[in-house]
Amino acid sequence: MTQKKILVVEDERAIRDMLAFNLGRAGYDVRPVADAREARAAIADVHPDLVVMDWMLPDISGLELTRQLKRDGETKEIPVIMLTARAEEDDRIAGLDGGADDYIVKPFSQRELLARIRAALRRSTVADGEVVSAADLKLDAASHRVSVRDAEVALGPTEYRLLEFFMHHPDRVYSRAQLLDRVWGGNVYVEERTVDVHIRRLRKALTPYGYDRLIRTVRGAGYRFSPQQT
């Protein structure tokens, strides 16, 4: 199983260091940052599986940053656990209204935080297991099956992951470097033309159904999955 990546956004150094240490020891790949500006850069860079966000930050509040993340199609699926020093009911509601998936009141035990993190990650994995479809093309993440009108489309593992990524991120251009990062993972070294090879295979597998054209080449930019083009 791959290590889950957690972004910790907390301006208080002692708490940030403590979180980084404890989450690291619990087996997570932790990226600690001190403010919203650094958080945005880190999110674009590492694509965390979850964000632990302090409410009170020096630039914009954790609540406002969470709202921004939840408005952006690229980041809205990332679970956010809000840390708050305020126990008042109103603030809790504001936190959840703002899009936080859970909140935890300071001071909290590490064990409680870890339990909340595991629960939030489990929920987001279940959401990933849904069936996505585009026209008659259906992808079932639970069974790893791709089908068109009940006929199974045989795909290699990389082509499957590519298609899964595209179907979750339609109508948006991705460069080869972005696809390598998002589909292959940031830690592998693969040449960019590898992407073209797998795109070609994926298109070939979809050609009998006429769905190869859903994957558009955008000259000088990369690729776009456009389900409306049928």
Range in contact with Ca ion (rule: CB under 5 A) among 9-17, 28-36, 130-138, 141-149: 9-17
- In the complex, the smallest distance separating the C-beta of residue 99 from Ca ion, rounded to whole angstroms, is 19
Look at phi and psi of residue 25 and say left if phi exceeds 0, alpha if psi is from -120 to 50, else beta. Answer: alpha
CB-wise, 20 or 56, nearer to Ca ion?
Answer: 56
φ, ψ for residue 30, nearest 5 deg: -105, 135
Chain-centre distance for alpha carbon 83: 20
Q: Is there binding between residue 11 and Ca ion (CB under 5 A)?
A: yes
Residue with tokens 């790949």: 29
Structure tokens at 54: 């302090």
CB-wise, 56 or 114, nearer to Ca ion?
Answer: 56
CB-wise, 19 or 205, nearer to Ca ion?
Answer: 19
Query: What is the helix, strand, coil percentage profile of the chain, to 5?
Result: 45, 20, 35
CB-wise, 58 or 210, nearer to Ca ion?
Answer: 58
**Contact predicate 60/96, CB 8 Å:** no
CB-wise, 23 or 53, nearer to Ca ion?
Answer: 53
Range in contact with Ca ion (rule: CB under 5 A) among 7-15, 66-74, 129-137, 144-152: 7-15
- In the complex, the smallest distance separating the C-beta of residue 73 from Ca ion, rounded to whole angstroms, is 28
DSSP 23: H
| Residue list 31-60, contact with Ca ion (CB under 5 A) | 54, 56
- In the complex, the smallest distance separating the C-beta of residue 106 from Ca ion, rounded to whole angstroms, is 9
- In the complex, the smallest distance separating the C-beta of residue 3 from Ca ion, rounded to whole angstroms, is 26
Length of the chain: 230
Residue 115 makes CB contacts below 8 A (sequence gap 6+) with none
For residue 109, give the 3-state DSSP assignment. Answer: coil
- In the complex, the smallest distance separating the C-beta of residue 221 from Ca ion, rounded to whole angstroms, is 39
| Residue list 68-87, contact with Ca ion (CB under 5 A) | none
- Residues of the shown chain interacting with Ca ion in the complex, contacts defined by CB under 5 A: 11, 54, 56
